[in-house]
Amino acid sequence: MAKNQIGVVEVEGLQDLITILSDEGYEVIGPTVADNAVVYEPIDSVDDLPKGYEDEQDGGKYRLIESGSKALFRTVVGPQTWKRYLYPPEQTLWKARKEKQGFSIEENDGVEPQYAFIGVRACEMAAIAIQDKVFDNGDFADPGYLARRNNAFLVAVNCTRAGGTCFCASMETGPKVKEGSDLALTEMTKGGHRFVVEAQSERGKEILKRLKASPITDGDKKQASKEIKAAAASMGRKMIGDADTVLAANLEHSRWNNVAERCLNCANCTMVCPTCFCSTMEDVTSLDGSEAERVRKWDSCFTVDFSYIHGGPIRRDAASRYRQWITHKLTHWKEQFGTSGCTGCGRCITWCPVGIDITEEARAIRDSQGG
Amino acid sequence: MTALETMSDPQMDPMIPVPFRIKKRKRELSDTFTLELEPPKGAAFNFAAGQFNMLYVYGVGEVPISISGDPSDPSKLVHTVRAVGSVTEAMAKLKPGDTVGVRGPYGSAWPVEEAEGDDVVIITGGIGLAPLRPAIYHILANREKYGSVIIIYGARTPQDMLFRKELEGWRGRFDLSVKATVDSAGSDWAGRVGVVTKLIPHYSFDSINTTALVCGPEVMMRYSISALNDAGVMNDKIHVSMERNMKCAVGFCGHCQFGGAFVCKDGPVFRFDAIEDLFKVREI
Amino acid sequence: MVKIEGLDKLLAEHPFFKDLDAPIRELIAGCAANEVFKAGDFIYREGEEMDKFYVIRRGRVALDVHVPGKDPLVIETLQEGDILGWAWLIPPYKAAFDARAEQLVRAISLDAGCLRKKCEDDHMVGYEMYKRFLPVVAERLKAARMQLSDLYGNPKGK
């Protein structure tokens, strides 16, 4: 790899990165601890990062523990995703004003924030790429999403520790970020706290030049690679390779009723999933009716009125709503967008109050086909 | 760019409605009305039979409504609406001169070109006639390109028959067969009473050269398709119009998914053999 | 009066009697008669003992439900080719609805008493009649159920 594409920095170098990005006009967003979870908020210093924290994750369980180490990126993913910024939970799409005759529409000014995301995991990089295809689907494009996306500077982090519910290895989306970011970091603590920084774009190369990185040694390369591979190997869960065809062939399997007995339809999974994109529109007026606006909000296929047409909802039973979510994610997504909708981040498993596990459900159906 | 140009430009924001003025309003049934909308600045609104628009009532909301007018006359935009919810009930109160927001046209069309050379059977009931009317206009305006044309229509009672005068007019033509039936009637109805599937003739259709267009609630389509199969028309020659909850009509909101298809983009018109397996799965 | 051979030929052409052995069909034709009803005539009325069933040759017949204080409710119309009446097979053989000729109706009637006796005397005849009537009744039941269900998506309560 060319000299200007990869280097090694220490924590000061990471702070420099944050400062440079901020000075360039980016709003820097990174992981930070709040309310006993790692969330994505604006940061201005490496001190805001979850130093010394690790997360314990399992079905329906999330806990942060302090390991006492210096590492900044040992937690993996929390309840929030980058879609919170690229595809905000609530957006005013346009405003309308009542006129003497009818009404007029006032579009957004098209000015979108310029974010720099620090700490984007491989599963999240894959999820962003997946949502790119949703919001620019070949027929229609969301200009707001595209502007925020193109403005965004992505600093990815290669995981050297797998989370308790991770399965990105079996989804072939991680833990290594192969491409698509601006800069990809690998944090190492053995032999000194440092970061391998790899530029994966022109923008990234430019910034890397300004970081005064040291050249990378073969030893560092090997260690980084080894730690990432170890993370991959330590993942306790796997998605079956043929989930898409298995689910498509078992739309009337009895397992759906089994899940329905456990699923609370709380919609947590859709809220924490980095690729879920469903939304609803709300039209609101000012009290005097002189102004109206259309607001787009995150929605979930688990709500009963999601599928409502005159007369009632198509998916009346919890079983059919769970089936919709999982078959969309693992089967129909391929038909619609060319890839699986799942990147193996494990959030739906962690944040499900009853610990329903998407990998387990797919496997259970495969193992009892025709049931 | 004119307002209408923005509507079909993929680079522009697809969520912005264009205000159209209501030129005429006609009461069709006790709960159903037709609006004739005027495209702004005299522009033309081109659409294909079977497509729909998202219609916005200021401050209330937006709903998907099939276009029910003549595709060969793009100077008017005609929609037939049944008042069933908050948006359509608000729309029912609008008068000529009022404004409706329009986004579209969206969706797939009835295969009127593909059906040239075939006999055409149109089966519909209730308000399902509205999305099919543009196809009927097209077929009748190009009558020589088709073989026999049969329209089969069912309604709950004679008072629920949509476009009744038009149906009677079509029935009067010598180059068209129109059969209508109702579920029940008083003594003022001299026509047939019985289920609509009974009108699908018992003689066999030319299965290679018949195209069937079916539109109505899924239960009606299901029984009609079964009767069509019995009469020799197979699923690759049957086209249906599906309906699902829609919030955006451009594939972003996820509500209209039917298996892997987005009804707003891959439908609403589908060739039935492409969806026949899904159609059988309950609550899909 | 139309000769029995003429009626036998008409029955033979009718889908309902298709594939019936000629001797059995001739036997049944022995119970047949030609009928004509003017528009507005009642072919039979609710509650009457059905002494005939009919094969409609032309014209439309309405099955009415009489509702006091209101127009009679037409729940089905039968046309050319349809069979009218099956109560003659099921004791006490009472018609469930009024059958009214909406137009000039020509039909072949089959005398129920005559036919019931022939069915008793020769069970093959009985078997052939039941075999044909059951699908008619099943079809009517299915249609009635479909008419009851909301096929056309009428909004609730309307």
Q: What is the pLDDT of residues A264-307, one digit of tens each?
A: 999 999 999 999 999 999 999 999 999 999 999 999 999 999 99
Dihedral pair phi/psi, residue A324, rounded to 5°: -60, -45
Residue pair A162/A232 in contact (Cβ under 8 Å)? The answer is yes
Q: Which segments within C41-141 are labelled E, that is strand?
A: 42-44, 52-58, 61-65, 73-78, 83-84, 98-101, 105-111
Picking from A260, A273, A349, the residue whose alpha carbon sits closest to that of residue A59 is A349
Residue A322 pLDDT > 90, yes or no? yes
Residue C9 located in a structural domain? yes
Establish if C157 belongs to a structural domain. no
In a domain, C103, yes or no: yes
Where does CATH 3.40.50.80 sit in chain B?
Answer: 119-279
Neighbours of chain B (3+ CB pairs under 8 A): A, C
Instruction: List the one residue out of B16, B7, B12 whose CA is nearest residue B105.
Output: B7
Q: What does the pLDDT average to over B250-278?
A: 97
Both tokens of residue B69? 């007018």
In this predicted structure, the answer to whether residue A65 has a pLDDT above a threshold of 60 is yes
- Which range, of A346-350, A353-357, B189-193, averages the lowest pLDDT? B189-193
Q: Residues spanned by CATH 2.40.30.10 within chain B?
A: 3-106
Position B247 scores a pLDDT of: 97
For B84, the closest of A139, A306, A310 (CB atoms) is A310
pLDDT of residue C156: 55
- The answer to whether residue C65 sits within a structural domain is yes
* All residues at 6 or more sequence positions from B170 whose CB lies less than 8 Å from its CB, including other chains: B136, B140, B151, B176, B178
Q: Where do runs of H (alpha helix) occur along chain B? A: 3-8, 86-92, 129-141, 164-171, 218-230, 272-280
Please report which confidence band the pLDDT of residue B3 belongs to, taking 50, 70 and 90 as the band edges.
very low
Per-residue model confidence (pLDDT) at position A370:
66
Q: Mean pLDDT, to the nearest integer, of B43-67?
A: 97
Chains that touch A (3 or more CB pairs under 8 A): B, C
Q: Quick one: fold of B3-106?
A: Elongation Factor Tu (Ef-tu); domain 3 (2.40.30)
* Contact predicate A208/A199, CB 8 Å: yes
Residues of B in contact with C152 (CB under 8 A): 125-128, 154-156, 160, 216-217, 220
State the pTM of this model. 0.89
Say which residue the tokens 């009305």 belong to: B33
The HSE-up count of residue C128 (CA atoms within 13 Å, CB side) is 18
Provide the 3-class DSSP secondary structure of residue A95. Answer: strand
Which of B4, B7, B9, B16 is the best residue to mutate to test the A interface, defined by the most A CB atoms within 10 Å of its own CB? Answer: B16
Whether A331 has its CB under 8 Å from any CB of chain B: the answer is yes
Q: What are the beta bridge partners of residue B177?
A: B150
Instruction: Quote the strand ranges of chain A, DSSP E.
Output: 6-9, 27-34, 37-42, 53-58, 61-66, 90-98, 103-107, 115-120, 153-157, 183-188, 194-199, 279-285, 291-298, 308-309, 312-313
Kindly report the nearest CA distance between residue C81 and chain B, in angstroms. Answer: 11
- Which pLDDT band holds residue B216 (cuts at 50, 70, 90)? very high
Tell me how many residue pairs between chain A and chain C have CB atoms under 8 A apart: 5
Q: Is C152's CB within 8 Å of B223's CB?
A: no
Helix/strand/coil percent split, chain B, to 5: 25, 30, 45
- The C-alpha of B117 sits at a distance from chain A's nearest C-alpha, in angstroms, of 31
DSSP letter string, B182-212: ES-B-TT--SEES-GGGGS-SSPP-TTSEEE
- C151 falls within a domain: no
Q: What are the extents of the domains in chain A?
A: 3-233, 243-367
Partners of A101 on chain B (C-beta within 8 Å) are 21, 97, 99
User: A310 touching C, CB under 8 A?
Assistant: yes
CATH number reported for the structural domain that contains residue C17 in this entry: 2.60.120.10
Question: Distance (Å, rounded) from C-alpha C85 to C-alpha C76?
Answer: 13
Using 50, 70 and 90 to split pLDDT, how confident is the model at C148? confident
Distance of CA A129 to the CA centre of its chain: 10
φ, ψ of residue A126 in degrees (nearest 5): -65, -40
Tokens representing A181 are 């970011």
Fold designation for B119-279: Rossmann fold (3.40.50)
- Which residue among B10, B16, B281 sits closest to A140, beta carbon to beta carbon? B10
C154 assigned to some structural domain: no
Going by pLDDT thresholds of 50, 70 and 90, the confidence category of residue B12 is confident
Q: Which chains touch C (3 or more CB pairs under 8 A)?
A: A, B
Number of domains in chain C: 1
Inside any domain, residue C83: yes
Asked whether the beta carbons of residue C74 and residue B193 sit closer than 8 angstroms, the reply is: yes
Q: Tell me the per-residue pLDDT of A203-224, one tens digit each, with 9 for 90 and over.
A: 999 999 999 999 999 999 999 9
- Partners of B156 on chain C (C-beta within 8 Å) are 152, 154
The token pair at A229 is 């591979």
Strand partners of residue C56: C107
Does residue C104 lie in a domain region?
A: yes
CB of A98 within 8 Å of a chain B CB? The answer is: yes
Please give the residue range of the domain that contains residue C34: 4-144
